[in-house]
Amino acid sequence: MVIYMSTPFASRASYRRENDDVMSEIKNPEFDQIKELLERIDFGDVECLNLHGPSDEKFCIIARAGFYHLTIFVEENKGYAFSDGSGERSQKIEIAGNYWPSFRVCKNKFEAFEALQAFFYLGTFPEAQCWIPFSDD
């Protein structure tokens, strides 16, 4: 595990509790607060967690215990989605009312934590993980 000792890239966080329509916000979050929100996902309390960079950058987790759909938006219509590398498209996993292809869902909490930590401090994803570029254009 890499330990980051710099000023965070993420300037705010927002999250939504399960079965809630309202996002709560934390300005200038500490990483311990972000770790706590990730833990609350596994307790079924939080289903959506976003980290926001200084511009349009955003890291999104839509999750339920043990299943984390991870995306990073670097511009409004451009970003990266986590892939487990399997390419498995036939199986779908339900998270927060949406169905995602199995290969697009992180099933390892440590990998989700690493991705969250990398974006929080650096504004990017860990290079050791597989991320698929996408665009709405």
> What's the chain's average pLDDT?
91
User: Does residue 5 lie in a domain region?
Assistant: no
| Mean pLDDT, residues 74-95 taken together | 88
Portion of the chain with pLDDT greater than 90, in percent: 76
- Domain containing 92 equals 12-135
In a domain, 89, yes or no: yes
Task: Give the model's confidence band at 19: pLDDT under 50 very low, under 70 low, under 90 confident, else very high.
Answer: confident
Residue 134 has pLDDT above 90, yes or no: no
Query: pLDDT of 28-63, one tens digit each?
Result: 999 999 999 999 999 999 999 999 999 989 999 999
Structure tokens at 114: 């690493």
Q: Is residue 63 part of a domain?
A: yes
| Residue 108, in any domain of the structure | yes
Tokens 């979050």 -> residue: 29
Confirm whether 82 is domain-assigned: yes
What are the phi and psi torsion angles at 94 (to 5°)?
-85, 125
Inside any domain, residue 97: yes
Residue 136 has pLDDT above 70, yes or no: no
* pLDDT tops 70 at residue 2: no
Q: Which long-range contacts (CB under 8 A, 24 or more apart) does 51-55 make?
A: 51/10, 51/12, 51/13, 51/116, 51/119, 51/120, 52/10, 52/11, 52/12, 52/13, 52/14, 53/9, 53/10, 53/11, 53/119, 53/123, 54/9, 54/11
In a domain, 7, yes or no: no
Rounded to the nearest 10°, the torsion over CA 135, 96, 11, 32 is -140
> Would you say residue 85 lies in a domain?
yes
Total domains in the chain come to: 1
